[in-house]
């Protein structure tokens, strides 16, 4: 860490002729796609369904309105905060209640602050949505380095520990000495290390998963539920984990094709949106075409698919003793019923000071986007006891 103070500047999205040139290039590439063949009736069984992707790309080419979707994203205030020589794009929305609680929300892959766009208003102004104004939050949603509109590290990729350190500096720059944290996927990992390394500043931490299990102790000490979960995770990894192996080991090789082909990029992302959401096999039960393409187009225009994948490589090098640390900061878990590799409570309590554990029946890996009202209420209910007395 350096002694250079963080600097806050306005965030300026791409506009005018430069944006139009980028969109024209995107449409040209979409129209020039060289499509792969597929076995008859393969559907999604071998990866992304060619017929569905052709339909999505036709919409992307001729009907998708990026400026309109971008304007909807920009309805929440945005900043660029320069921390450790990295420009971090941040959604920073002020709370409308009597004493809003500062919260930093951390996303995962394959997304960005996009994951939380539906809950920002619910959290900042609960009274306008039928809630109690005393439950208001001051919402901070950064894009992880190398994701969304945040700068990628110029040197080696940053792991979750380093990003947690950046977030601590970011919250200081925004004027928050004490705050709470929440996240899922990679963001769960970052939130965990915020609680581990900055317990004097993080009042409580909420997560929608417990990460992938790492256990170096005597297996006989595990409960039957935990052992069954370990087996489930191993089976899931064998069937679904190829993407992670690539990200951890050879992300740069995949980055060439995904950075050059918008259809390749869409295939890589859409297959995960479908597989990890609670959509019953129909991705558009969880996300509209516009919502899918807003996420994918942001990756395309920012050119961040390669840098986003490299974070997996950095996390794979985290020392086992770091992974084994127990979170003593009060922790809450909302394990949504449609998520992948759902941990048992016994594992949560083994790894964290669990003060609240819930299992909402609906919603998947992208719960803040899939079930925003439920997710917002989960945060309100969990963090209520940790608000400063009035």
pLDDT digits (tens, 9 = 90+) for 44-53: 999 999 999 9
Name the burial class of residue 320, with classes exposed (0-12), middle (13-18) and buried (19+) by CB atoms within 10 angstroms of its CB. Answer: exposed
Is the pLDDT score of 65 beyond 60? yes
Catalytic residue among 185, 209, 278, 339: 185
185 flagged as catalytic: yes
Catalytic residue among 52, 116, 312, 375: 312
Is the pLDDT score of 170 beyond 80? yes
pLDDT digits (tens, 9 = 90+) for 258-316: 999 999 999 999 999 999 999 999 999 999 999 999 999 999 999 999 999 999 999 99
pTM of the model: 0.96
Would you state the pLDDT for residue 47? 96
Query: What is the pLDDT confidence band of residue 16, given thresholds at 50, 70 and 90?
Result: confident
Query: What is the pLDDT confidence band of residue 4, given thresholds at 50, 70 and 90?
Result: low
Catalytic residue among 89, 135, 365, 375: 365
Would you state the pLDDT for residue 215? 87
The rounded mean pLDDT for the chain is 95
Determine what percent of the chain is predicted with pLDDT higher than 90.
Answer: 90
Would you state the pLDDT for residue 312? 97
β-bridge mates for residue 260, sequence order: none
Q: How far is CA 141 from CA 89, 149, 275, 281, 292, in A?
A: 8, 12, 25, 29, 19
pLDDT digits (tens, 9 = 90+) for 331-382: 999 999 999 999 999 999 999 999 999 999 999 999 999 999 999 999 999 9
pLDDT digits (tens, 9 = 90+) for 319-343: 999 999 999 999 999 999 999 999 9
Which residue segments constitute the domains of the chain, with CATH numbers given?
Answer: 7-386 (3.40.50.1820)
Query: What is the pLDDT confidence band of residue 389, given thresholds at 50, 70 and 90?
Result: low
pLDDT digits (tens, 9 = 90+) for 190-238: 999 999 999 999 999 999 999 888 888 888 899 999 999 999 999 999 9
312 flagged as catalytic: yes
> Rounded mean pLDDT of 104-130?
97
Would you state the pLDDT for residue 1? 55
92 flagged as catalytic: no
Would you state the pLDDT for residue 17? 81
pLDDT digits (tens, 9 = 90+) for 66-109: 999 999 998 999 999 999 889 999 999 999 989 999 999 999 99
Would you state the pLDDT for residue 2? 55
């Amino acid at each position: 860490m350096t002694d250079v103070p963080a600097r806050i500047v306005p965030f300026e999205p791409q506009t005018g002729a430069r944006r139009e040139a980028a969109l024209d290039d995107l449409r040209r590439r979409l129209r020039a796609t060289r499509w792969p063949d597929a076995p008859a009736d393969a559907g999604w069984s071998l990866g992304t369904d060619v017929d569905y992707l052709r339909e999505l790309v036709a919409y992307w080419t001729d009907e998708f309105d990026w400026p309109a979707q971008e304007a909807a994203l920009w309805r929440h205030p945005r900043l660029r905060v320069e921390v450790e020589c990295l420009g971090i794009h941040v959604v920073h929305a002020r709370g409308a209640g009597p004493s809003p609680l500062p919260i930093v929300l951390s996303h995962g892959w394959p997304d960005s602050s996009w994951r939380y766009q539906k809950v920002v208003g619910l959290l900042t102004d609960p009274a306008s949505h039928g809630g109690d104004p005393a439950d208001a939050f001051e919402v901070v949603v950064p894009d992880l380095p190398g994701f969304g509109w945040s700068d990628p590290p110029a040197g080696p990729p940053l792991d979750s520990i380093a990003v947690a350190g950046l977030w601590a500096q970011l919250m200081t720059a925004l004027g928050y000495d004490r705050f709470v944290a929440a996240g899922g996927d990679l963001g769960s990992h970052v939130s965990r290390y915020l609680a581990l390394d900055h317990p004097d500043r993080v009042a409580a931490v909420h997560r929608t998963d417990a990460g992938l299990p790492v256990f170096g102790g005597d297996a006989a000490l595990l409960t039957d539920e935990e052992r069954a979960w370990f087996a489930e995770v191993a089976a899931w990894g064998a069937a679904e984990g190829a993407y992670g192996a690539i990200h951890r080991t050879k992300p740069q090789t995949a980055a060439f094709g995904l950075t050059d082909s918008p259809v390749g990029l869409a295939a890589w992302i859409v297959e995960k949106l479908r597989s990890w959401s609670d959509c019953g096999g129909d991705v558009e039960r969880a996300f509209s075409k516009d919502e899918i393409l807003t996420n994918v187009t942001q990756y395309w225009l920012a050119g961040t698919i390669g840098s986003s994948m490299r974070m997996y490589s950095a996390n794979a090098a985290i020392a086992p003793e770091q992974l084994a640390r127990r979170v003593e900061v009060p922790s809450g878990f909302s394990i949504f019923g449609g998520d992948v590799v759902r941990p048992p409570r016994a594992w949560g309590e083994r790894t964290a000071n669990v003060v609240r554990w819930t299992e909402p029946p609906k919603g998947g890996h992208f719960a803040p986007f899939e079930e925003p009202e439920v997710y917002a209420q989960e945060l309100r209910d969990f963090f209520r006891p940790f608000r400063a007395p009035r």
